[in-house]
C-alpha cells in the first residue's frame, strides 16, 4: 500500500523516481508526487495516476540529483492534491513520504496544534513530519536525532523517507512494519518499497529491518537502530530480471501473469518434485518434519486470494495428513485472542509477504510459541523473514493487482507440503503418493490447454458483461475456487459476485436465481460430480443461466449447461490449479469489455500494508 521511491547520486533524480513510481503504481494510485532538491526544495503533487503527475510536470525545471517520490493509496484523507505526498515541514525545508499508518496521530496533532502548528492536509504523515520538525527545533538537534526521538513516540507502521534542504547530500529513512529496500549503485543509492524500481540500476540491495534508521548519501549507507547504534548492512543480490516486471507484449500485467502460469507452476515444482524418483525435496519442511507431522492441528493464516489457497490446502492436508486444519482470516485471528499452544504450527500464506494483518498475526503467534511456516512469493519480504521456516512459491513478481499466478503457485507449494508430511507420517500409501506426485508434475503441461479457453471465455465475457450479479458455486476442492472466481470478478469488473458451496445455496442464495442471474459452476470431475449435477439441475429448474467449468470428456454437464468451458482432466486434489484459470480469464475479459483498468482496479492496492 503506497509506493515510495527515492534517489541520491549523480543521475537526474526525476526520471529515476518517475519510472520507479510507475513500477510501484500497483501499490496505490489515487495520487502521486515528488520532492526534488536542487537549489531549493520543490514539491509537485497531483491527484490521480502517476501519468497525470508526469503530464502536469512537462516543461518544468526538474533538475535535481536527489529526490523522493510517492504513489498513494489513501488512508487518512481523501485522494486529492493536498493529501498527496510528499508533505512539507512548516519551515519548508523538509519533505517526507510515508507508507503506513501513524495510529496516535490525533494525539500528536493536538499537541502540535496547541503549539500553533497548522496543517494543510488531513494526513497522519504531515503530523509526523511536523512532530519531527518540532523536536528538531526544541532540541536544537540534527534531523537524524529528531527522527529517532520522534519514532520512539510513534505507534503504528511506517516507512518514511525525508529530504532536507539544509543537508542536500543526505536522505534519512526508517521502517517499522512496511517494506523498504535500498539499492547500492556506484556512488548512488536507490530507495523503494520493493526491488522493481531498483532492478535496472543495481542488483545489490539491503532490506531494511523494523526499527532501523538509514542515513543515505551518494557514496555511503549507514544503518542504525533507534538506540543510535550502528548496524552492519546485510547486502543481498537480487535474483530477478527486468523482463519479469515488464508487460512483454501483453496488454495488461494481469493477462501476462495468467499466461505465465505454465512456467510459474513449473518453477515452483522444479528442484522439489521428482515424479520419477518419487521424492519431494523441501528443506523447510524436512528440517521441521517432526513438528509438522506431529502437529495436533495446523492453522493457516492469510487474507484474500491467499486465504482461498489456504482453504484448498485445508482440504488437501486433512485428506492426506489426517491433521485438523483451521483456516483463519489474519485480520480476525490477530484480534480474537486465539488459543495457541507452544509448538502449534501456523502456515502463513502471502504473495507479497508484507500484508499487515498476516504479519502481525504471525508475530503474535510466534511470541506465544507457535512455529511459523511461511508460504510466500516475494523473497526477503517481512513474512518470509519472520517465519521460522518456509517455502517460496517462485511465481516471480506479480504486478497485476488481482492475484493470479501467485494463487496457483501457492496451491502447488501447499500440495507438495501436504504430500511430504503425509509421506513422512505414513498417512498415504505409496501407490497414492506416486499417483498424486505424477498428477502434480503434469499440471504445468496441462495449464496451456486451460489457457486455450481464452477465446471462448472472451466471447462469454461479451455475453455476460452487463449482468448485475454472479453466483459462483463449487464443492469440495472446487469450493474455494468458486470463492476465488467471485473475488476476481468483483475486483476487476465491479460486478457483485458471491461464491458459495454448491449445496449450501439451497439455504438462501437460491432465492436470487432467475433468468438474469449467471451461475458459474466449478464442476470438474471429482467425487462430488453427481451431486453437483443435481445442483445444476436446481439452478436450471429456476431458469438461471449456467456457465460450467468442466473436465474434458464430461458429456453430462456439457448437455445441461448454457455454456461450458473445458479444462484438462486431473485428480480432484490438483484440479483447482486448472479450474481457476478460466475464472481468472472471465474476470479479466469482463473487466476489459467494460473498459476498466484491470491492472489497477479502483480502491485496491496490491500490497495491503495497513490493517
Ligand atoms: C486478490 C488479492 C488480494 C490478496 C490479499 C493478500 O486478487 O490480490 O485479496 O490476495 O490482499 O495479499 P498477500 O497474498 O500479498 O498477503
Q: How far is the CA of 304 from the centre of ligand 1 (A)?
A: 5
What is the pLDDT, as a whole number, of residue 610? 66
**Ligand 1 atom closest to the CA of 404, numbered from 1:** 7
**Ligand 1 atom closest to the CA of 358, numbered from 1:** 16
Sheet with 87-88, strands from edge to edge, namely 87-88, 94-102, 156-164, 171-176, 212-217, 220-225, 230-231
Task: Provide the terminal-to-terminal Cα distance of the chain, rounded to the nearest Å.
Answer: 10
Q: How far is the CA of 606 from the centre of ligand 1 (A)?
A: 7
Q: Which residues contact 470 (CB under 8 A, 6 or more apart)?
A: 464, 486, 489, 495, 496, 497, 498, 517, 518, 519, 520
pLDDT more than 70, % of the chain: 99
Q: How far is the CA of 46 from the centre of ligand 1 (A)?
A: 27
What is the pLDDT, as a whole number, of residue 396? 92
pLDDT tens, residue by residue, 546-596: 999 999 999 999 999 999 999 999 999 999 999 999 999 999 999 999 999
CB 377 within 8 A of CB 362: no
Q: How far is the CA of 403 from the centre of ligand 1 (A)?
A: 6
Q: Can you read off the three cell numbers belonging to residue 157?
A: 507502521
**If we measure between CA atoms, which residue out of 477, 534, 480, 484 comes closest to residue 510?**
534
How far is it, in rounded angstroms, from Cα 124 to Cα 131?
11
How far is it, in rounded angstroms, from Cα 28 to Cα 85?
12
Cα–Cα separations (whole angstroms), residue 522 to 176, 302, 580, 601: 42, 23, 8, 25
How far is it, in rounded angstroms, from Cα 185 to Cα 164?
21
Place of cell 533538475: 63
CB 400 within 8 A of CB 415: no
- Pocket probe for ligand 1: among 331, 354, 355, 600, the residue whose CB has the most ligand atoms within 8 Å is 355
Considering only CA atoms, which residue is closest to atom 5 of ligand 1?
A: 304
Cα–Cα separations (whole angstroms), residue 480 to 289, 451, 576: 27, 20, 9
Question: Please, what's the b/e burial string for 569-595 (b: 16 or more CB within 10 A of its CB; e: otherwise)?
Answer: ebbbbbbbbbbbbbbbbbbbbbbbbee
More confident residue, 213 or 74: 213
Q: Can you read off the three cell numbers belonging to residue 30?
A: 489515487
Q: Which residues are catalytic?
A: 2, 606
- Pocket probe for ligand 1: among 73, 258, 301, 304, the residue whose CB has the most ligand atoms within 8 Å is 304
Is the pLDDT score of 605 beyond 80? Answer: no
How far is it, in rounded angstroms, from Cα 254 to Cα 483?
19
Q: How far is the CA of 167 from the centre of ligand 1 (A)?
A: 39
pLDDT tens, residue by residue, 317-329: 999 999 999 999 9
Rama region for 380: left / alpha / beta (φ>0; ψ in -120 to 50; rest): left
Half-sphere exposure of 51 (CA within 13 A, CB side): 0
The band of 231, judged by pLDDT with boundaries at 50, 70 and 90, is very high
pLDDT tens, residue by residue, 124-166: 999 999 999 999 999 999 999 999 999 999 998 899 999 999 9
What is the pLDDT, as a whole number, of residue 444? 97
Place of cell 484523507: 77
Longest Cα pair distance anywhere in the chain, in angstroms? 80
Q: Can you read off the three cell numbers belonging to residue 245?
A: 516486471
Considering only CA atoms, which residue is closest to atom 11 of ligand 1?
A: 304
Residue 543 DSSP label? T
**Ligand 1 atom closest to the CA of 304, numbered from 1:** 9
Residue 200 DSSP label? T
CB 521 within 8 A of CB 546: yes
CB 391 within 8 A of CB 285: yes
Cα–Cα separations (whole angstroms), residue 153 to 20, 105, 107, 460: 31, 10, 11, 55
CB 502 within 8 A of CB 479: yes
- pTM for the model stands at 0.84
- Pocket probe for ligand 1: among 178, 252, 301, 305, the residue whose CB has the most ligand atoms within 8 Å is 305
How far is it, in rounded angstroms, from Cα 277 to Cα 474?
34
Q: Give me the sign of the Cα torsion angle 218, 205, 152, 119.
A: positive
What is the pLDDT, as a whole number, of residue 75? 80
What is the pLDDT, as a whole number, of residue 249? 84
**Ligand 1 atom closest to the CA of 406, numbered from 1:** 14
Considering only CA atoms, which residue is closest to atom 7 of ligand 1?
A: 402
Q: How far is the CA of 404 from the centre of ligand 1 (A)?
A: 10
Considering only CA atoms, which residue is closest to atom 4 of ligand 1?
A: 304
Q: How far is the CA of 352 from the centre of ligand 1 (A)?
A: 8
Is the pLDDT score of 523 beyond 70? Answer: yes
Is the pLDDT score of 245 beyond 90? Answer: no
Residues whose beta carbon lies within 6 Å of some atom of ligand 1: 303-306, 350-352, 355, 358, 402-403, 487, 491, 607-608
pLDDT tens, residue by residue, 33-86: 999 999 899 999 999 999 999 999 999 999 999 999 999 988 888 889 999 999
Q: Helix H segments across 322-451?
A: 330-333, 356-367, 382-386, 405-425, 430-451
Residue 388 DSSP label? S
What is the pLDDT, as a whole number, of residue 238? 87
The band of 205, judged by pLDDT with boundaries at 50, 70 and 90, is very high
Q: Give me the sign of the Cα torsion angle 589, 556, 432, 473.
A: positive
pLDDT more than 90, % of the chain: 86
Residue range 194-222: average pLDDT?
Answer: 95
**What's the chain's average pLDDT?**
94
Omega before 391 within 30 of 0, i.e. cis: no
Cα–Cα separations (whole angstroms), residue 529 to 152, 410, 467, 523, 566: 59, 25, 27, 7, 15
Amino acid at each position: 500500500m503506497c509506493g515510495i521511491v527515492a534517489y541520491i547520486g549523480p543521475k537526474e533524480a526525476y526520471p529515476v523516481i518517475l519510472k520507479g513510481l510507475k513500477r510501484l503504481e500497483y501499490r496505490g494510485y489515487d495520487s502521486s508526487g515528488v520532492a526534488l532538491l536542487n537549489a531549493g526544495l520543490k514539491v509537485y503533487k497531483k491527484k490521480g495516476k502517476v501519468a497525470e503527475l508526469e503530464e502536469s510536470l512537462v516543461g518544468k525545471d526538474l533538475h535535481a540529483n536527489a529526490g523522493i517520490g510517492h504513489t498513494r493509496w489513501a488512508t487518512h484523507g481523501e485522494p486529492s492534491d493536498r493529501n498527496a505526498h510528499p508533505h512539507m515541514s512548516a519551515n519548508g525545508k523538509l519533505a517526507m513520504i510515508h507508507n503506513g499508518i501513524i495510529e496516535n496521530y490525533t494525539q500528536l496533532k493536538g499537541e502540535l496544534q496547541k503549539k500553533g502548528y497548522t496543517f494543510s492536509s488531513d494526513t497522519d504523515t504531515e503530523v509526523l513530519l511536523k512532530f519531527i520538525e518540532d523536536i528538531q527545533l526544541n532540541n536544537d538537534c540534527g534531523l537524524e536525532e529528531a527522527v529517532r526521538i520522534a519514532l520512539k513516540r510513534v505507534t503504528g507502521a511506517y516507512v518514511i523517507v525525508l529530504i532536507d534542504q539544509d543537508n542536500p547530500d543526505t536522505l534519512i529513512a526508517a521502517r517499522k512494519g512496511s517494506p523498504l529496500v535500498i539499492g547500492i549503485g556506484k556512488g548512488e543509492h536507490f530507495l523503494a518499497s520493493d526491488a522493481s524500481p531498483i532492478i535496472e540500476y543495481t542488483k545489490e540491495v539491503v532490506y531494511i529491518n523494523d526499527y532501523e534508521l538509514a542515513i543515505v548519501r551518494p557514496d555511503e549507507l549507514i544503518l542504525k537502530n533507534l538506540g543510535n547504534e550502528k548496524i552492519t548492512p546485510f547486502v543481498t543480490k537480487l535474483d530477478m530480471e527486468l523482463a519479469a516486471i515488464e508487460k512483454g507484449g501483453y496488454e495488461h500485467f494481469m493477462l501476462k501473469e495468467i499466461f505465465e502460469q505454465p512456467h510459474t507452476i513449473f518453477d515452483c515444482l522444479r528442484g522439489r518434485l521428482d515424479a520419477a524418483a518419487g521424492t519431494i525435496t523441501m528443506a523447510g519442511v524436512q528440517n521441521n518434519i517432526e513438528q509438522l507431522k506431529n502437529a495436533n492441528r495446523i492453522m493457516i493464516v492469510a487474507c484474500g486470494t491467499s486465504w482461498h489457497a489456504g482453504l484448498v490446502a485445508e482440504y488437501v492436508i486433512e485428506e492426506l495428513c489426517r491433521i485438523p486444519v483451521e483456516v483463519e482470516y489474519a485480520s480476525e485471528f490477530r484480534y480474537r485472542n486465539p488459543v495457541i499452544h507452544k509448538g502449534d504450527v501456523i502456515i502463513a500464506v502471502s504473495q507479497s509477504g508484507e500484508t499487515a494483518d498476516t504479519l502481525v498475526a504471525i508475530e503474535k503467534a510466534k511470541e506465544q510459541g507457535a512455529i511459523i511456516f511461511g508460504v510466500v512469493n516475494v523473497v526477503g519480504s517481512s513474512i518470509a523473514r519472520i517465519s521460522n521456516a518456509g517455502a517460496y512459491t517462485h511465481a516471480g513478481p506479480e504486478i497485476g493487482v488481482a492475484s493470479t499466478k501467485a494463487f496457483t503457485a501457492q496451491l502447488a507449494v501447499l500440495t507438495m507440503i501436504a504430500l511430504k508430511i503425509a509421506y513422512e507420517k505414513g498417512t498415504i500409501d505409496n501407490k497414492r503418493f506416486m499417483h498424486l506426485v505424477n498428477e502434480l508434475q503434469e499440471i504445468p503441461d496441462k495449464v496451456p490447454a486451460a489457457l486455450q479457453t481464452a477465446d471462448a471465455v472472451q466471447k462469454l465475457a461479451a455475453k455476460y458483461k452487463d449482468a448485475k450479479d454472479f453466483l459462483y458455486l463449487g464443492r469440495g476442492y472446487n469450493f474455494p475456487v468458486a470463492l476465488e472466481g467471485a473475488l476476481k470478478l468483483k475486483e476487476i469488473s465491479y460486478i457483485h459476485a458471491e461464491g458459495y458451496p454448491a449445496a449450501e445455496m439451497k439455504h438462501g442464495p437460491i432465492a436470487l436465481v432467475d433468468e438474469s442471474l449467471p451461475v458459474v459452476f466449478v464442476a470438474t470431475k471429482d467425487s462430488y460430480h453427481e451431486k453437483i449435477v443435481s445442483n445444476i439441475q436446481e439452478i436450471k429448474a429456476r431458469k438461471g443461466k449456467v456457465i460450467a467449468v468442466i473436465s474434458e470428456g464430461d458429456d453430462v454437464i456439457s448437455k445441461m449447461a448454457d455454456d461450458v468451458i473445458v479444462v484438462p482432466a486431473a485428480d480432484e486434489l490438483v484440479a483447482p490449479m486448472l479450474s481457476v484459470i478460466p475464472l481468472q480469464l472471465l474476470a479479466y475479459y469482463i473487466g476489459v469489455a467494460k473498459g476498466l483498468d484491470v491492472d489497477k482496479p479502483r480502491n485496491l492496492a496490491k500490497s495491503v500494508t495497513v490493517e
